[in-house]
DNA sequence: CTGAAAGCGCTTACAG
DNA sequence: CTGAAAGCGCTTACAG
């Protein structure tokens, strides 16, 4: 293996100073008035030897690590892993890499991770805010490092974030059911303070309310699948009049479908169904299930646009960017009008 | 925000040398015969001030970054993102973090990424080998940094790896179909040199061969979904005698299901089906589809066990660890015997 | 038992 | 136009 080449080696070989080499490598040849001849000589040798600056030393000196910390509940959730991929692509284009970790709904762990990220001098953060971490994040935001939140937010928190317009699209989804003649629409969500979940709920409530229908809400304490299913069976048994149901998130819908299996409920025939979050399964289910699709590409793009402009100091720091993106309702058979 | 504390600050406050502070912080108090009193004084102040060593400086000095590079085709593929989560968990327990990137089937990009990882001095690598990167990886392996491959491998390559026993489980799956009376079993795979795909194919061929059945293999050049579907339609139309089919991977099965939709083929009724890789959709499909499940937990565990033992120099470097784990056949309705 | 000092590989203010 | 040197914050061989 070729021994690691240092800037000093280049300088010595060419009998010039490391300063000059450093300037040229960092593209400051023009600015620093380095002669064409010297510049070329350096670049050629760099090429020939395949010199790569030691990024650790660079980071230590400049205080920039070119690393972005990505913090979510669980990287294996499709929504998060897709965002991860897209963000990584964009980041790579700009010389950044992503350090990720999953908090697994554990506040203590999340705090630790934040500490580790800080300790490793990540240049910026992309975070789906876990519950209970609000004050830590507030502290973090006061730091120099830019922070972009997504998916979750806290009302009144002054920071950059990128969200889906949860309340609006759930309003539309509910209205779609109402328009198709459904009169007893249930809404299954979890017991939580997470603002995005509350927004989804409020979209439902507004639609139901403005149509003078009764709201039928089931809030389940999220522990595990078994518990979710038990609670849902209970809900579906109690509320016999139900003719439609909206599941407020991916994992809730999954457990909803498990419940259907258990209770032998057939979407559309027995109950109209809409899922928040679209995933492949819904398309292939029989009948195919109507779903709200979050604009994953747009979300990732806006996260990175915001973050990069912060990292490059292109935007006014005191002016926070708060972006709310529209979602789409993918209408399939499960929510059609009964004829 | 509190100014970042350095080791020097601690030393000055306590009127001792940084050497002593460094020894204590790194748990070498005993070894270096630092007095109890001094040790306690230091530890208390570290606690009080919340001192965290600058990991960049530490890395530069020691040459260890405590970062593991994770390289896969696409982090958003469920198989990979699940492995990512599990690996991150284990790594975190040992003070390591994961830097990830997706190669997106782009050899050039993969090479770049490897270079970046090297440049960032990652301590170890976990890689699902992309095609065309064999020689790069060989080079990497000769380096000091430990490399653990998973999912993919190259025959004859001397390295640590963790694999699923592809050929055996596909043999079993094929045999299962044969035992259930199927006589014209097709196998849909992609045109590739990837060893794990060839192993799956060979499992099929052995089973079919040893039962004196004819092999019906469709190798599709992987470009995109549309192309896959087109080719599959072609295959299913040509091979009319087909009474069962095995899809050699997750994404092939997805396109297979799309093809079924297009052609109005119903699994089991029209064609017995088995998928390599189990995912939620298959369980909910009607009828539920039999699938080969890779032992994700075991894979992740073995990757990290191997990697950590290398990182700690606990195992003989010349002795490579090659682990092959058994998979499971989850039998569902799509492959049952026709009565 | 403890400390002064070199060095990891860079960048950059300063000097000429 | 170019260079000598300080310094980022650590660790550790060496000295006492």
Is B58 contained in some domain? no
Range of the domain at A141: 64-163+297-325
Across B64-83, average pLDDT: 94
pLDDT digits (tens, 9 = 90+) for B106-139: 899 999 899 889 888 899 999 998 888 888 899 8
pLDDT for res B260: 96
Residue B253 CA to D13 C1' — how many Å?
A: 61
Q: Say if CB B205 and CB B174 are below 8 A apart.
A: no
pLDDT for res B321: 93
Q: Do B130 and B29 sit in the same domain of this protein? A: no
Which residues of chain A from 274 to 313 reach within 8 Å of chain B, CB to CB? 280-281, 284-286
As given in the structure block, the two tokens for residue A266 are 């057939």
Q: Do B303 and B251 sit in the same domain of this protein? A: no
List the single residue in A56, A89, A115 with the smallest CB-CB distance to B121.
A56
Length of chain A: 339
Count of C-beta atoms within a 10 Å radius of residue B52: 14
Cα–Cα dist B216/B10, whole Å: 73
* Displacement of CA B151 from its chain's centroid (Å): 5
Is A58 contained in some domain? no
pLDDT for res B207: 97
Q: What is the CA radius of gyration of chain B?
A: 26
Question: Can you state the angle between helices A36-49 and A7-14, rounded to 10 degrees?
Answer: 130
Q: Are B60 and A57 within 8 A, CB to CB?
A: yes
Sign of CA dihedral A266, A267, A272, A273: positive
As given in the structure block, the two tokens for residue B219 are 């190798």
Q: Do B260 and B316 sit in the same domain of this protein? A: no
Is B1 contained in some domain? no
Is A136 contained in some domain? yes
Q: Do A157 and A170 sit in the same domain of this protein? A: no
Q: Do B158 and B170 sit in the same domain of this protein? A: no
Q: Are A56 and B120 within 8 A, CB to CB?
A: yes
Q: Do B176 and B268 sit in the same domain of this protein? A: yes
Please report residues of B whose CB lies closer than 8 A to that of A81: 75-76, 78, 81, 84
pLDDT for res A1: 34
State which nucleotides on strand C lie below 7 Å from a protein beta carbon: 1-5, 7-13
Q: Say if CB A127 and CB A71 are below 8 A apart.
A: yes
Q: Do B179 and B257 sit in the same domain of this protein? A: yes
Is B104 contained in some domain? yes
As given in the structure block, the two tokens for residue B308 are 């950590």
pLDDT for B84 beyond 80: yes
As given in the structure block, the two tokens for residue B251 are 């994404």
Please tell me if residue A335 touches chain B, with a CB cutoff of 8 Å.
Answer: no
Is A59 contained in some domain? no
Give the list of residues 6+ apart from residue B173 with CB closer than 8 angstroms, or none: B203, B246, B274, B276, B290, B292, B329
Is A1 contained in some domain? no
**Can you list the alpha helix ranges (DSSP code H) found in chain B?**
7-14, 18-25, 36-49, 55-62, 78-93, 107-119, 134-142, 166-179, 195-210, 225-238, 250-263, 280-284, 296-311
Domains: count for chain A:
3
Sign of CA dihedral B244, B249, B255, B258: positive
List the single residue in A67, A76, A113 with the smallest CB-CB distance to B84.
A76
pLDDT for res A3: 59
What phi and psi, each to the nearest 5 degrees, are found at residue A258? -65, -40
Q: Do B200 and B301 sit in the same domain of this protein? A: no
What phi and psi, each to the nearest 5 degrees, are found at residue A281? -50, -40
- How sure is the predictor about B2, in pLDDT bands with cuts at 50, 70 and 90? very low
User: Which residues does residue B149 pair with via DSSP β-bridges, in sequence order?
Assistant: B127, B161
Q: Do B266 and B306 sit in the same domain of this protein? A: no
CATH at residue A13: 1.10.260.40
The one-digit pLDDT tens for each residue of chain A (339 residues) are 345 788 888 888 888 888 898 998 888 877 778 888 888 888 888 888 888 888 889 988 988 899 999 999 999 999 999 999 999 999 999 989 999 999 988 899 999 899 889 888 899 999 998 888 888 899 888 888 899 999 999 888 889 999 999 999 999 999 999 999 999 999 999 999 899 999 999 999 999 999 999 999 999 998 899 999 999 999 999 999 999 999 999 999 999 999 999 999 999 999 999 999 999 999 999 999 999 999 999 999 999 999 999 998 888 878 899 999 999 999 999 999 988
pLDDT for res B199: 97
pLDDT for res B307: 96
- How sure is the predictor about B3, in pLDDT bands with cuts at 50, 70 and 90? low
Q: Do A176 and A220 sit in the same domain of this protein? A: yes
Q: Do A87 and A159 sit in the same domain of this protein? A: yes
Across B300-309, average pLDDT: 96
Cα end-to-end span (Å), chain A: 74
pLDDT for B1 beyond 50: no
Q: Say if CB A153 and CB A195 are below 8 A apart.
A: yes
pLDDT digits (tens, 9 = 90+) for B207-265: 999 999 999 999 999 889 999 999 999 999 999 999 999 999 999 999 999 999 999 99
Q: Do B38 and B113 sit in the same domain of this protein? A: no
Is A303 contained in some domain? yes
pLDDT for B295 beyond 50: yes
Please report residues of A whose CB lies closer than 8 A to that of B259: none
- Mapped onto helix, strand or coil, the DSSP state of residue A274 is strand
């Amino acid at each position: 293996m070729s021994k690691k080449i240092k800037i000093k080696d280049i300088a010595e070989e060419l009998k010039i100073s490391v300063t000059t080499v450093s300037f040229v490598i960092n593209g400051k040849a023009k600015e620093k008035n380095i002669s064409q001849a010297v510049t070329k000589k350096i670049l050629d040798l760099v090429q020939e030897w395949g010199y790569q600056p030691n990024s650790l030393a660079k980071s230590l000196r400049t205080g920039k690590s070119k690393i972005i910390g990505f913090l979510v509940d669980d990287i294996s959730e499709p929504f998060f892993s897709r965002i991860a991929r897209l963000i990584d692509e964009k980041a790579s284009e700009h010389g950044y890499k992503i350090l990720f970790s999953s908090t697994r709904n554990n506040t203590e762990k999340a705090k630790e991770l934040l500490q580790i990220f800080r300790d490793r001098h990540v240049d910026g953060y992309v975070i789906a805010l876990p519950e209970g971490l609000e004050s830590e994040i507030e502290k973090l935001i006061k730091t120099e490092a830019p922070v972009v939140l997504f998916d979750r937010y806290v009302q009144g928190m002054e920071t950059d974030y990128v969200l889906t317009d949860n309340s609006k699209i759930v309003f539309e989804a509910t209205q779609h059911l109402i328009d198709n003649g459904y009169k007893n629409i249930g809404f299954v969500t979890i017991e939580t303070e997470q603002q995005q979940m509350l927004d989804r709920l409020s979209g439902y409530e507004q639609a139901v309310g403005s149509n003078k229908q009764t709201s039928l809400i089931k809030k389940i304490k999220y522990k595990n699948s078994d518990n979710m299913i038990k609670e849902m069976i209970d809900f579906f048994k109690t509320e016999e009049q139900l003719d439609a149901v909206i599941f407020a998130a991916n994992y809730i819908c999954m457990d909803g479908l498990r419940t259907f299996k258990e209770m032998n409920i057939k979407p559309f025939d027995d109950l109209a169904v809409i899922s928040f979050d679209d995933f492949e399964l819904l398309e292939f289910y029989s009948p195919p299930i109507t779903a709200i699709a979050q604009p994953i590409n747009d979300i990732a793009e806006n996260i990175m646009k915001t973050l990069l402009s912060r990292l490059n100091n292109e935007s006014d720091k005191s002016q926070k960017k708060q972006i709310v993106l529209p979602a789409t309702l993918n209408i399939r058979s499960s929510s059609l009008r009964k004829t």
